[in-house]
Amino acid sequence: MSKTGFDNQRYLQLQSQHIQDRIDQFGGKLYLEFGGKLFDDYHASRVLPGFAPDSKVRMLEKLKDKAEILIAIKAGDIEKNKVRGDLGITYDSEVLRLIDIFRGRGLFVGSVVVTQYTGQPAADAFQSRLEQLGVKVYRHYPIAGYPHNITKIVSDEGFGKNDYVETSHPLVVVTAPGPGSGKMATCLSQLYHEHKRGIVAGYAKFETFPVWNLPLKHPVNLAYEAATADLDDVNMIDPFHLQAYGQTTVNYNRDVEVFPVLAAMFEKITGSCPYKSPTDMGVNMAGNCITDDPVCREAACQEIVRRYYEALCDQRQGRGSEDTVYKLELLMQQAGVTPDIRPVVAAAAHMAEETGEPAMAIQLADGTMVTGKTSELMGCSAAALLNALKYLSGAGGHGIHLIAQSAIEPIQTVKVKHLGSANPRLHSDEVLIALASSANADPKAARALDHLEELGGCQAHCTVILSPADAVTYKKLGLQLTCEPQYQTNKLYHR
């Protein structure tokens, strides 16, 4: 788990240069559609150990003198308060968060485009809010027959009706708070308007996955299918690239399906299409930066199994479907793995069998397995965290306490007597706060806190579905968590 299989520094260098080459190819102006997550690509960091979650934005920082950011958000997503699942915030709030982060990294945010606008009041209110904050906002409209009615789309009645977004930099990065926001249509609309003004501009796409120069059934590419199992995305051989070059490359179904339409739009706008395949459109160099293929294969297989457990828990909680579970079972079969590749599963189950209560297991970077059991003082996830920190800091074994019971009891009293909690046990975050409050008086507690960062990347498994508070704490610490799809009790309502 402590091994790396990806050269992040090489990736930053190659990716920056490749994008600069693409800018030059189009005469100095490029609209670059950015897929996936820019700042917190934890999926990539899990399946490509060594990949930094903020690699994409760090790469953009190398080009910040030439780049500006254009954020697309669909009016309908604003209207229905669509939420980004991993962060729990609405798409319009995510736009504000993105602007703040971009600016904090020294990147210029040029404007926001509200796509598919049909007069939605919530979109109007959001536009007014942005403009009051000094952000330029443009509107793009639905086009009848999109994407197949090329004649209508590439005309003054199609793209021509959209606002022309004024840009000032050679590289325009088009991103969004989530999928389906209209990034590609925004890029193509801009190409149409630029061409009408006599400005030469091009388009390219930046998607990390699937990795085009890895085999179709490589675990890293299968892990991408696992991550999108609830969608209709399927990895496939790019038939256009194979026909044009005789080279087998991997893309995914939506890009392959839309490519003939996209090529026709290019021809209509500029007279010719610069690309012979969807793979040609991409600027992804990740496959060239894998330094240890077995390490990445193992990490990707772990990710597939984690996604399987996540789907099982989503189904148990009424958020997922049986079809998603079936698809992940098929992907595990294709990867040749079962849940047995996670030793933490068996370790947690053994502890639960011994105690008759929920249990947690954490596998540390050196392979050491630590467990935590449920007690009157704390839940199993909190106990496992403390035991892991105890081991990492050399604080001693069973019977050595990092937090005195006298420090825990007042917290339990506040929870039950004043905050209305029916469960006095401390959650993981509460235990860490108690540990921090003990650090001044107890050197063992202080040493334990110094080892928190070593939990990042470690595997963890719980025999029951964790509370949101515990799950969030594990995620923030970088632990790669799975849970059995069952609750501690048979109640219908769980918090």
In tens, the pLDDT along 59-80 reads: 999 899 999 999 999 999 999 9
- Reported confidence tier of residue 332, pLDDT bands at 50, 70, 90: very high
Does 357 share its domain with 452? yes
Does 375 share its domain with 277? no
Question: In which domain, by residue range, is 468 found?
Answer: 345-483
If one counts every other C-beta atom within 10 angstroms of the C-beta of residue 356, the result is 9
Does 160 share its domain with 248? yes
Report CA dihedral (399, 404, 410, 412) to the nearest 10 degrees.
Answer: -30
Residue 208 has pLDDT above 80, yes or no: yes
What was the pLDDT predicted at 222? 98
Average of per-residue pLDDT values in the chain? 92
What was the pLDDT predicted at 401? 77
Residue 55 has pLDDT above 60, yes or no: yes
Q: What is the pLDDT of residues 385-396, one digit of tens each?
A: 999 999 999 977
Does 351 share its domain with 445? yes
DSSP codes, 85-126: TTTTEEHHHHHHHHHHHHHHTT-EEEEEEEES-S--HHHHHH
Q: What is the pLDDT of residues 467-485, one digit of tens each?
A: 999 999 999 999 999 999 9
Residue 495 has pLDDT above 80, yes or no: no
Residue 490 has pLDDT above 70, yes or no: no
Preceding omega of 210 cis (within 30 degrees of 0): yes
Rounded CA separation 349/360 (Å): 8
Of 289, 313, 335, which closes a domain? 289
Residue 36 has pLDDT above 80, yes or no: no
What was the pLDDT predicted at 2? 62
> Once rounded to an integer, what is the mean pLDDT over residues 105-115?
96
Residue 494 has pLDDT above 60, yes or no: no
- CATH of residue 196's domain is 3.10.630.10
* 372 beta partners: 360
20-34, 84-98, 320-334, 381-395: segment of lowest average pLDDT: 84-98
Residue 428 has pLDDT above 90, yes or no: yes
Q: How many domains does the chain have?
A: 2
- Asked if the structure places residue 216 within a domain, the reply is yes
